[in-house]
Every structure is written in C-alpha cells, then in structure tokens.
C-alpha cells in the first residue's frame, strides 16, 4: 500500500509544481488553490509512505516521479522544448526510480 500511496503522491507533486508555475506569484486564485491542495496531499502521502519505506528511497522515488511528470507536462504543453538529450536524461530518472523499487 505504501508504494501505491507514494506513486500517487509523486503524481500530486507534479500537479502542485505545475500549478506553482501558473500562480503568477500567487496572484491567481485558481492555480494557487490547486498548488496548496496538491502540496498538502502530496506531502501527506509522502509522510504516510515513509512510515514503512526508507526515507531516502521514498524521497528519491517521490522526487523522481514528480520531476519526470512535471517535465512531461511542460513538454506536452509547449512550455519546454523536446530534445533527444532531455528524453535520455528523463529516461535515466525513470530508470533510477524503477531500480529503487526493484532493490527495495
């Protein structure tokens, strides 16, 4: 169960990170609310997962999922360019997250 919660929390990290970029310095209410709710839910899920998973592993997986999804959202919305080099490095993050799950 902890791994499922951790993955969902990683997805929520991408939600709040993407929303943060749209808050315009917290001057836009909608994205600011999405940011705050996403942040709280993501942190709560991470804290729950850390009750049974090692801190380093849980944090690395959480950050990795959030980072990959945040970059993917930015690339699909055109906010960030898609280059072969970026794809290779994002794939390396995905490989690291999978590796951490496999060695746990």
As a whole number, mean pLDDT of residues 66-79 equals 95
pLDDT for res 13:
97
Q: What is the pLDDT of residues 9-48, one digit of tens each?
A: 999 999 999 999 999 999 999 999 999 999 999 999 999 9
pLDDT for res 40:
98
User: Is it the case that residue 104 has pLDDT exceeding 90?
Assistant: no
Q: What are phi and psi of 54, to 5 degrees?
A: -60, 140
pLDDT for res 65:
96
Domain that holds residue 16: 2-103
Q: What is the pLDDT of residues 46-55, one digit of tens each?
A: 999 999 999 9
Cα 19–chain centre separation: 12
Which helix (DSSP H) or strand (DSSP E) does residue 20 occupy?
helix 2-22
pLDDT for res 10:
97
Q: What are phi and psi of 23, to 5 degrees?
A: -75, -15
Q: How many domains does the chain have?
A: 1
pLDDT level of residue 70 (50, 70, 90 thresholds)? very high
Closest CA to 32 of 42, 45, 46, 18: 18
């Amino acid at each position: 169960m902890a791994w499922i919660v951790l993955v969902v929390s990683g997805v929520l990290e991408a939600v709040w990170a993407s929303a943060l970029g749209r808050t315009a310095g917290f001057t836009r209410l909608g994205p600011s609310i999405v940011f705050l709710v996403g942040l709280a839910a993501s942190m709560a899920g991470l804290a729950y997962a850390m009750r049974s998973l090692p801190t380093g592993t849980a944090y690395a997986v959480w950050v990795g999922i959030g980072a990959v999804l945040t970059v993917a959202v930015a690339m699909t919305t055109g906010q960030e360019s898609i280059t072969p080099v970026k794809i290779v490095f994002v794939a390396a993050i995905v490989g690291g997250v999978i590796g951490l799950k496999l060695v746990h």
